[in-house]
């Protein structure tokens, strides 16, 4: 999957059954995962509360237009992610993983706290959505350094025979963050009522970013940088210009990584962000039931992802990723049809079905992306490719899915976008070579 003709192998970490190594890996999983949880709790709240945000920050009259506006602002944050990836990825490859990742959390949490105290449209008119866009841009810039950095951190600590399992915890904690976020929204709605959530409850949820962010920063600063990065630094192999090196030596790997992320990005934002509003606005489910179906589906993903990562360690990344793509292609449309019956059980089963395919793909793809690149450009290369793909395909997902329904009059139209994304990633995965169990390379 890379262009290097003579890879230099770094000594593989000690076996996972070594007690001290296992303890260190668990500590790293907790620190990386907790930080990732904080990042995506903050980032995901916006999507979960899209309907509420549309009521508070945009002129009312046409609920569908207001929701489209809220999703457009959501997409604006993704415009900044490639720029954030360039900045944070380069920084992470030059100065280290842990300090970069700690700063990323600090910036994102700060932006989310600001979002919780913004004045609404009823208070300051058009300035409200403009300020919301500004905060989303800052949040998106910071998020550009998170997923690729956390994956890099875990991949470089993991032994070769458990890399899929260890890196899968990026997605475990990410989906757990959405489960907790959506669960809190459901709890607030059930205990306070929809009116209280719409008026002031949403602010409390955003303000939770402050204590969560401080915990994440503390845990990441307590880590040491990865053995892989320290070895590269000691040998003087740190890339002076990671982006230039990546484009010169690993451009094919960058293209593979972009292709890997297409269905990952679209699938994540369909399930995490689009579904709550889709169930409410298009299919007529109540707010509590739509959040409940979403929470159950995302919880299933969080539980299954590490098992899929472990499976990819045993049988390879490609078979597991292929299974996820094929599942999306064949069954996304039937899943949306099942949801449309207006039955909570049917909607939940559909979410679980799509969640299984997402878990399969996520369980294998994090390690597969990390294995594309050598250590001295891994963070930056992943950040560039990952965020470019997420910006192009993932950021527009809720907006495009909502637009497709309005333009076609077909409530199942979003399925075709998901199927097309899965087909793109399937072609790329089929052309990639298997990297499971191979040692990581140190230098491009």
Q: Where are the domains of the chain?
A: 19-431
Residue 157 and residue 25 in contact, taking contact as beta carbons nearer than 8 Å: yes
Place 19 in a pLDDT band, splitting at 50, 70 and 90. Answer: low
Residue 167 and residue 56 in contact, taking contact as beta carbons nearer than 8 Å: no
CATH topology of domain 19-431: Growth Hormone; Chain: A; (1.20.1250)
Phi and psi angles of residue 223, each rounded to the nearest 5 degrees, phi first:
-80, 160
Distance from C-alpha of 74 to C-alpha of 132, rounded to nearest angstrom: 9
Question: Residue 191's pLDDT is what?
Answer: 86
Burial of 36 (0-12, 13-18, 19+ CB in 10 A): buried
Question: Residue 3's pLDDT is what?
Answer: 44
Condensed to tens digits (0 to 9), the pLDDT of residues 100-142 reads: 999 998 998 898 899 899 998 889 888 888 888 888 889 889 9
Kindly write down the DSSP assignment for every residue of 327-352, as one continuous string: HHHHHHHHHHHHHTT--HHHHHHHHH
Distance from C-alpha of 139 to C-alpha of 110, rounded to nearest angstrom: 9
Lowest mean pLDDT among 54-68, 106-120, 332-346, 366-380: 54-68
Place 21 in a pLDDT band, splitting at 50, 70 and 90. Answer: confident
């Amino acid at each position: 999957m890379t262009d290097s003709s003579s890879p230099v192998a770094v000594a593989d970490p000690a076996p996972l059954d070594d007690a001290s190594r296992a303890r260190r890996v668990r500590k790293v999983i907790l620190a990386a995962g907790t930080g990732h949880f904080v990042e995506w709790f903050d980032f995901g709240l916006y999507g979960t509360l899209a309907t509420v945000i549309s009521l508070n920050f945009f002129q009312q009259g046409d609920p569908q237009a207001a929701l489209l506006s809220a999703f457009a602002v959501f997409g604006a944050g993704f415009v900044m992610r490639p720029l954030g990836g360039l900045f944070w990825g380069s920084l992470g490859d030059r100065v280290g993983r842990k300090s970069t990742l700690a700063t990323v959390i600090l910036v994102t949490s700060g932006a989310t706290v600001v979002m919780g105290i913004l004045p609404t449209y009823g208070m300051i008119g058009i300035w409200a959505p403009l300020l919301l866009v500004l905060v989303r841009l800052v949040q998106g810039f910071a998020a550009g350094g998170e997923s690729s950095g956390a994956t890099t951190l875990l991949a470089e600590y993991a032994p070769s025979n458990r890399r899929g399992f260890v890196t899968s915890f990026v997605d475990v904690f990410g989906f757990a963050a959405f489960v907790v976020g959506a669960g809190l929204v459901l709890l607030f709605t059930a205990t306070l009522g929809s009116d209280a959530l719409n008026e002031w409850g949403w602010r409390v949820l955003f303000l939770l970013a402050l204590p969560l962010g401080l915990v994440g920063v503390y845990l990441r600063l307590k880590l040491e940088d990865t053995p892989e990065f320290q070895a590269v630094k000691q040998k003087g192999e740190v890339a002076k210009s990671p982006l230039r090196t990546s484009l010169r030596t690993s451009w094919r790997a960058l293209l593979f990584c972009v292709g890997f992320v297409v269905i990952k990005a679209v699938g994540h934002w369909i399930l995490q962000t689009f579904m709550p509003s889709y169930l409410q606005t298009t299919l007529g489910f109540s707010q509590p039931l739509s959040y409940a179906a979403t929470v159950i589906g995302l919880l299933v993903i969080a539980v299954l992802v590490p098992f899929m990562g472990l499976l990819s360690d045993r049988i390879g990344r490609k078979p597991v990723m292929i299974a996820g793509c094929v599942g999306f292609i064949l069954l996304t449309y039937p899943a949306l049809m099942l949801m449309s019956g207006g039955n909570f059980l049917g909607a939940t089963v559909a979410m679980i079905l799509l969640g299984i395919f997402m878990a399969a793909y996520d369980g294998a793809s994090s390690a597969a992306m990390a294995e594309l690149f050598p250590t001295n450009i891994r963070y930056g290369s992943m950040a560039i490719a990952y965020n470019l793909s997420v910006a192009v395909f993932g950021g527009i997902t809720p907006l495009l899915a909502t637009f497709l329904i309005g333009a076609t009059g077909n409530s199942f139209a979003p399925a075709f976008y998901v199927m097309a994304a899965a087909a793109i990633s399937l072609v790329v995965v089929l052309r990639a070579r298997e990297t499971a169990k191979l040692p990581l390379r140190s230098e491009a």
